[in-house]
Amino acid sequence: MLISISQVNKSFSGNPVLRDITMTIEEHIRYGLIGVNGAGKSTLLNLIMGELDADDGEIYRSTQLRLGYLKQNTGLDRTSTILEEMRKVFEDVFRAEADMRSLEQEMESIKDHTSTEYRSITQEYEKKQAYFDSRDGYQVDVKIKTILNGMGFLDKDLDTPIHTLSGGEKTRLAIARLLLEEPNLLILDEPTNHLDFKTLNWLEEYLLTYNGSILIVSHDRYFLDKIVQQVFEIERGKLSSYKGNYTAYVRQKAERRARLEKEYEAQQLEIAHMQEYVDKNLARASTSNSAKSRIKALENMAVIERPDGDLKQIKLRFDLTKEPYKDVLTVEDLGLCVGKEKKVLCEHIDFSLKRQEKIAIIGTNGIGKSTLLKTLLGILEPYSGNYTWGKNTSLSYYEQENLNLNPERQAIDELWDRFPHIPEAQIRKVLGNVLLTKEDVFKPVKVISGGERAKLALCILMLEKSNVMLLDEPTNHLDLPSKEILEEALLEYGGTLLFISHDRYLLNRLPDKIIEMNEDGLTVYDGNYDAYVERKKFLASMAVQEESAEKAKQKPQSGSYRTKEQRRQDAERKARLRTIESEIERLEEEIDLLQGEISREEIYTDYQLLTEKTSKIEENQQALDGYYEEWEILQEDV
């Protein structure tokens, strides 16, 4: 057990945030922590981290606990470079290595190897060497590069200053540093923000084999589904626990609520029957004792509280006032560009959109997904090609950061000015459906939260009643329940959808097709996200097979097609391979033997002999690396 929390309460300014929280974090378990915005997730994390004190209750932390926490502001040193920041994780390793070099010089300066001073230095050297080996010091740079490559820094100059990185790059770098630290409790707060699909997939696979425990706060349901083994939910200040992933949590929560409702109703019925019996029989001498026993039973009964209902949720419904023709959109050889210099992002885009189709657009950041939507809306000019909207189409657009809202205007006016013919009462009702009520509707758009701005933008879509909606990251800024409700509303929508999303859970539920954009155009895949992933794997496999087949065609397939010289060269390659394999085996055995020798007292107490052994290890390691490279080349040729 790493952490145990028992009956913890926390309030701010007299307002309770967490009530009677009890939870345990065990070793080697991956947990999810969910709850609506403001539920108290960050407060709980701060209590776990020790950055806040509980009002009462107990928090136990194991003496073996090593915490790693990904904060939303990353916590990186802006003055460092990428590589410097990663190497800070191994400062103790580098210090040990520097100490070893210093001790080696001291040993060299002492001529009497039998002296107390020399023996003391060699003992210290042995400790440093053992620590350096335990931290896998020789593999530090390999570890750093492996993690950085996985987190999307393969093509990035590692001497790049951190302050020049984008917000997304800083988040990825902060995750990379945490993974290198290898804490036995890794706490990740919204780790999937700013990650592309490739990096997400790598991170998921890495976390699935992570040796420690993980506590994840996330709105990414697909990520939670794939990673977590247990879900903690904070609702109304109380914490509930569910075994399994996010989908299992949804099912279990519904089942638990239904069961508690039945138990409550059954007990209420029993109480009513007992009370009725008491009322009728208490005054009768013949039944008075029986009635009194029921009174006693009622007094001693553990009364089941009425289960809390669902938290108040938004209500969404997207209607349309007219049907478009079957062919909604035709795009032919479209090119996209941005800026005054007309920088080309993507060309040769061809696709069509039919009535009632729901198509998702995916692709790497910066490829032009948002630019495509803005071009189709006429906001931007195309670089080349053309597009045609079908007859009777009416368009609505959801901008991912809601920049099309006036920040100075009050929320109610933002809606009413767009639809002046709608009575105020109806405007207020629509806002109430997304939980914008009372004084909140009179706040300027710039001061309401990102989630509230997203809901205000959804109100506009509901009132426009268009038959085609173009949505750019519609689930951004929404909590989990609101995402679920939006998905249901979009599934029920009778119009046509063209939307951009990184939300893989949404991409699994909503689209009929997925369009993947790249610099040379796009590829259309039938089905949802999982079908897209499987198709990509299949195509990659086919490409490998075709490449192998092409190589096979270019090489002679049997001795009858090869000249005498070719056969001689082939025999030489195979002979060289056998020689290299023997050398690799010999060197690996020799390195293992030498590493064992330098831990022996008679070796590490003799500086000259120790230097010879360590030099030989480095020499053998370099030779081994060279043989491995040559082996890979020859293996491909043979």
187 lies in the same domain as 289: no
pLDDT tens digits along 507-554: 999 999 999 998 888 999 999 999 999 998 888 888 888 777 777 776
Tens digits of residue pLDDT in 619-630: 887 787 788 777
Residue 561: the pLDDT is 53
Q: Which domain covers residue 575, as residue numbers? A: 565-637
The whole-number average pLDDT for the span 302-329 is: 88
- State the CB neighbour count (10 A cutoff) for residue 484: 18
Q: Look up residue 181 and give its two tokens.
A: 């630290």
Clarify whether residues 262 and 350 are in a common domain. no
- HSE-CB at 438 with a 13 A cutoff on CA atoms is 0
Eight-state DSSP code of residue 390: P
Distance CA 335, CA 583 (A): 56
User: C-alpha distances in angstroms, 550 versus 546, 547, 557?
Assistant: 6, 5, 12
| Co-location of 294 and 394 in the same domain | no
Of 535, 553, 577, the position where a domain reaches its end is: 535
Q: Are residues 62 and 205 in the same domain?
A: yes
Type of residue numbered 244: G
Q: Please, what sign has the CA dihedral across residues 408, 412, 417, 419?
A: positive
Report if residue 344 sits inside a domain.
yes
**Smallest Cα–Cα separation from 216: which of 399, 432, 33, 91?**
33
Nearest CA to 364 out of 572, 159, 152 is that of: 152
Q: Which amino acid is at 275?
A: Q
- The answer to whether residues 342 and 448 belong to one domain is yes
Instruction: Judge whether 105 lies within some domain.
Output: no
* Mean pLDDT within 347-364: 94
Co-location of 430 and 511 in the same domain:
yes
Strand partners, 43: none
Cα distance between residue 353 and residue 522, in whole Å: 14
User: Do 465 and 394 fall into the same domain?
Assistant: yes
Same domain for 239 and 269? Answer: no
Question: Count of domains in the chain?
Answer: 4
Residue 237 inside a domain? The answer is: yes
Round the average pLDDT of the chain to a whole number and report it.
88
| Residue 435: partners with Cβ closer than 8 Å, 6 or more residues away | 312, 313, 314, 455
pLDDT digits (tens, 9 = 90+) for 446-460: 998 888 999 999 999
- Asked which of 258-267, 307-316, 519-528 is least confident by mean pLDDT, the reply is 307-316
Last residue of a domain, one of 496, 517, 535: 535
Query: Exposure pattern of 363-383 as b/e (b: 16+ CB <10 Å)?
Result: beeebbbbbbbbbbeeebebb
pLDDT at 578 > cutoff 50:
yes
pLDDT value of residue 560: 47
Exposed/middle/buried for residue 260 (C-beta within 10 Å: 0-12, 13-18, 19+): middle
pLDDT (average), residues 218-225:
93
Do residue 459 and residue 334 come from a single domain? yes
Residues pairing with 389 in the sheet: 329
pLDDT tens for each residue of 414-441: 999 999 999 999 999 999 999 998 888 8
Q: What is the pLDDT of residues 136-164, one digit of tens each?
A: 888 888 889 889 988 988 888 999 999 89
pTM of the model: 0.75
Instruction: Describe the strand order of the beta sheet including 3-12 as a list of residue ranges.
Output: 15-25, 3-12, 56-61
Any residues with CB less than 8 A from the CB of 516 and at least 6 apart, and which? 362, 363, 522, 523, 525, 532
pLDDT at 623: 82
Look at the chain and count its residues. 638
Residues 455, 509, single domain; the answer is yes
Residue at 11 is within a domain: yes
> Residues 225, 290: one domain?
no
Please report whether residue 559 resides in a domain. no
In a domain, 236, yes or no: yes
Claim to verify: residue 518 and residue 579 sit in the same structural domain: no
**Percent above pLDDT 90 for the chain:** 52
Tell whether 79 is covered by a domain. Answer: no
Contact 427, 437 (CB under 8 A): no
| CATH, residue 190 | 3.40.50.300
**Token pair in block for residue 458:** 């959804």
Q: Does some domain include residue 553? A: no
